[in-house]
Structure 1
Amino acid sequence: MQLSYEKKRAYRRQLMQARRAISGLVATYQTPGLFSEPRESKLARDRAVGFFPTIQRAWPTANAFLESQRIRQGVHSVWHHGLPIDFELTRSQADVLLVVFHGALELNATLPIFPGSNLASGLRVSRLAFTDPSLYLSPLLPLAWHAGNEFQPDLPKLTTKIIRKIARSIRAKRIVLFGSSGGGFASLIQAAAFPEAKVLIANAQTNVLLYHDDHVQKYLDIAWNGDREAFIAAGYSSAIERLSAADSTPPVLYMQNSTDEFHIRRHLNPFVQELGSDLDLRLLKDNWGNGHIAPPKSVFRAALEAVVVNDNLALERLGFIPFKTL
């Protein structure tokens, strides 16, 4: 008897749930700290820890992680003011650390999520991928730009410390910051702290407050209790301002869909007008579809590979043009 498509999907869903339940039980036994929420826990969303086929480690405080002697690969959860900063480290023998930030997620997306594994597969890099802890505040929040919240107003600063700690631990000589859309914003914020890095972004927001008003307001309401001024005062609302204030900045490779008029007008144009003459900035604009559409995976992969191996000719062949020559 042949099962219908819907029944097959239901069966796969049930199988996945069973596997997660078993993995969760095993993880609870092996690493009970992952499931020990602090008294100040602000979690308001299910957290699917225990399902990853790697070593997992929970850290009760940020200092406990930062003062540790050795960082093993796998999933780490650093508790900071009631929310976990979840990230995954996959190590290789290479001396390049690829740091990946995700953008907007579906409302029903399972957290934590660690992006970039497929794109990085086969590349000579170690990969560090972050889940935005602000999304744990509500299942109704799909995007928070890794920019912090009222409980973690220092999140980007602490993220910088985590990246530096891991880079030293694995003896990385080079860092690549990578993200699309909201993840591109997070990469640009970190770029201000890592002038030695390289940045590869696509369709990025460059100022949170210039994104769609309804999304911005939802973020402010949920993550900052509606306090817009507190978010601005934290100092991480504008990547343009952070980079402008930096003593030195890294090369930025900026990919932009040519039909995404909203992002070109509100984010790309102000970015290049303010920073184009000062940054080592290379642009790739092309038509990948109508609106806020990411580059094809083949283009993303080729660009990432060229950045990892420092192949400027490959970047030129892909269409990246130095801004100063436009």
Structure 2
Amino acid sequence: MIKRSFERYVNWGEVHEYRDFEHFEHRASNRGFHMIGYGTGYLDVYVEDKGAETTVVFFHAAMGLDDLTLPVFTGRNLMEGLEANAIYISDPSLEFGLGLGWYAGDSDRPMQQDLPRVLESLISRIRTHKYLVFFGASGGGFASLFYGSLFSKALSVCVNPQVNIFRYLPGAFEPYLEACWPQEGNTSVQFVSDVSVQYRGGRAENTVLYLQNLGDASHIRDQLLPWLEEGPQREVEFFLHLGQWGKGHRAPSIAVLKPLLETAIAVRGNWPRLDIDVEKCLDPERIRKKSVSYLNSLKK
């Protein structure tokens, strides 16, 4: 049984509980914890309204199951001292005893349809809001890409993201399917499992900043290169930053990410002005070779 407790967040603000989405939409506040009745569980959201123009929405990555306590809110350390509002979202799928759910919901809770409604309601209550940023790493990067695609002029920042859930580790997506979509097969799921489809045919009007560790061979091979080969990045503003953050599925440090968020806040929605080194050539073979070269350099 997964534990629930707000004890570790005791100094963060009030907890507001709602029966369901309708109750939430009538009574929601622009700050504090929002514990929204959702199916047999909850959708937990934490909001910080700093009276700023930019709002950053945070999605967490996979969580370890040892002593896991819900809800889970990550990213607040990145926001310390930054002049931006923030919305932190805990993935309800973790209620099934999972470490990862990609914010894709389950057969009784179609989160990819429901969460945009919650976000729109919260954002409308932040009176100073003008510019929207989504942020997530790994599985949270998938969520940043998906939900960002539904909000015109938003910026989706994704770090080492999964783009296609079924190209990720079977040990991650198979337990998720069994727990959340038990009647579905890999070829007929009732949720978006390949986020690149959101970026085809002019459907998305957001900007994407894709950060990828060159030392993460599996995510280069199975996620980034297929994305580039299939070409959805040609239909939106797309910026790729390749980092050297060590071997494996490693994210950059806070010393890298915090200045990036500072820049995103400073440009006030003019995303092409982001002050970050981006790849001018998106040729998949060239990027594959850069990854191999970097990994070889780590062996020396």
TM-score over 0.5 (shorter chain): yes
Q: Which runs of 4+ in 1 moved over 3 A?
A: 311-316, 321-326
CA shift digits 1:72-127 (9 cap, x unpaired): 41111111111200010011010111100001001122211111110011111111
- Higher-RCO chain (CA-CA 8 Å, sequence separation at least 6): 2
Counterpart among 87, 96, 101 of residue 128 in structure 1: 87
Cα offsets for 1:146-186 (capped at 9, x unmatched): 1111221x202211111111111113111100000000000
Give SS of 1:264's match.
helix
Whole-Å Cα distance in 1 between the matches of residues 233 and 208 of structure 2? 10
Task: Give the drift of 1:323.
Answer: 5.7
Corresponding residue to 2:212 among 251, 256, 270: 256
RMSD between aligned residues: 2.1
2:147 pairs, out of 190, 200, 206, with 190
Unaligned runs of 5+ in 2: 287-300
Query: Is the contact made by 2:112 and 2:191 (CA closer than 8 Å) also made in structure 1?
Result: no
1:312, CA displacement in angstroms?
Answer: 6.5
Residue 28 of structure 1 corresponds to which residue in structure 2?
A: none
Equivalent position of 2:292 in the other structure = none
Indicate how the Cα distance of structure 1 residues 179 and 322 shifts in structure 2: closer, same or farther if over 3 A, else same. Answer: farther
Amino acid at match of 1:97: T
Does the Cα contact within 8 Å between 2:135 and 2:144 map onto a contact in 1? yes
Of 89, 100, 117 in structure 1, the residue corresponding to residue 58 of structure 2 is 100
Superposed CA deviations along residues 168-216 of structure 1, whole A, max 9, x for unmatched, are 1113111100000000000111022112211111100011111111211
Residue identity over aligned pairs, in percent, reads 27
- Unaligned 5+ residue runs, structure 1? 1-43
**TM-score w.r.t. length of structure 1:** 0.79
TM-score (norm 2): 0.86
Q: 1:210 to 1:148 in 2, by over 3 A?
A: same
| Contact 1:150/1:223 (8 A) holds in 2 | yes
Is residue 303 from structure 1 mapped to residue 263 from structure 2 by the alignment? no
Q: Offset of 1:56 from its aligned partner?
A: 0.4
Indicate the structure (1 or 2) with the bigger Cα radius of gyration: 1
Shift of the alpha carbon at 1:291? Answer: 0.8
Query: In 2, distance between residues paired with 1:322 and 1:251?
Result: 16
